[in-house]
């Protein structure tokens, strides 16, 4: 026996998987809800699934091949990173919403050269 599961994401996308039985389907729905469907943004007042705001899905890979999976609030742009379990690599929500990552913030030197123009020598 196999069960076909179609899971509707906020924003209209769907995930379709085939699982061996109803228990596996239940586990898949549970995992989809946990990872893809937060109820609300942890920063602003956006409630997802209401049509007023949606959760977006962001994936990026660094030059070192580190992979990041994040949920993004369409209203305020804040992000919640998903953790990856060491065993099996399953994703899980970290629960902490953060200000969007800006690369330009880290391109500047962390400590600017000290101004020593007023030293007597
Ligand atoms: Zn938000």
- Identify whether residues 88 and 53 lie together within a single domain: yes
**Same domain flag for 70 and 100:** yes
Distance of CA 92 from the midpoint of ligand 1 (Å): 19
Distance 72 CA to ligand 1 centre (A): 8
Do 28 and 57 fall into the same domain?
A: no
Distances in Å between the Cα of 29 and the Cα atoms of 47, 54, 94 are 20, 19, 19
Give 55 Cα–ligand 1 centroid separation in angstroms.
9
CB atoms within 10 A of CB 54: 19
Please give the model's pTM, rounded to 2 decimal places.
Answer: 0.77
Residue 89 Cα, ligand 1 centroid: separation in angstroms? 27
Query: Do residue 50 and residue 97 come from a single domain?
Result: yes
Helices (H), 37-117: 103-107
Ion ligand 1: residues, CB < 5 A:
41, 43-44, 46, 73, 75-76
Same domain, 33 and 81: no
Same domain, 64 and 96: yes
Quick one: pLDDT at residue 101?
73
Q: Are residues 49 and 77 in the same domain?
A: yes
Ligand 1 geometric centre to CA of 52 (Å): 11
Share of the chain above pLDDT 70, in %: 83
**CA–CA dist 111, 115 (Å, integer):** 11
pLDDT score of 14 more than 90? yes
Q: Domain span at residue 86?
A: 40-104
Instruction: Name which of 94, 54, 60 is nearest 72 in CA terms.
Output: 54
pLDDT tier, 30 (very low <50, low <70, confident <90, very high otherwise):
very high
Rounded to the nearest 10 degrees, how much is the dihedral formed by the CA atoms of 59, 62, 64, 67?
-10
Q: Is the pLDDT of residue 103 over 80?
A: no
- Pair 10, 48 in one domain: no
- How many distinct structural domains can be found in the chain? 2
Query: E-assigned strands of the chain?
Result: 3-8, 14-19, 55-61, 67-73, 79-84, 91-98
At 97, is the secondary structure helix, strand, or coil?
Answer: strand
């Amino acid at each position: 026996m196999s069960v076909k599961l179609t899971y509707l994401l906020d924003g209209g996308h769907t995930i379709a998987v085939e699982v061996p039985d109803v228990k596996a389907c239940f586990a898949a729905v549970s995992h989809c809800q946990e990872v893809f469907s937060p109820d609300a943004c942890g920063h602003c007042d956006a409630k997802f699934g209401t049509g007023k705001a949606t959760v977006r899905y962001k994936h990026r890979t660094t030059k070192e091949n580190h992979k990041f999976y994040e949920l993004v609030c369409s209203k305020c742009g804040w992000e919640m990173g998903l953790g990856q379990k060491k065993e099996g690599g399953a994703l899980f929500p970290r629960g902490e919403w953060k200000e969007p990552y800006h690369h330009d913030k880290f391109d500047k030197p962390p400590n600017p050269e000290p101004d020593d123009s007023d030293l007597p020598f």
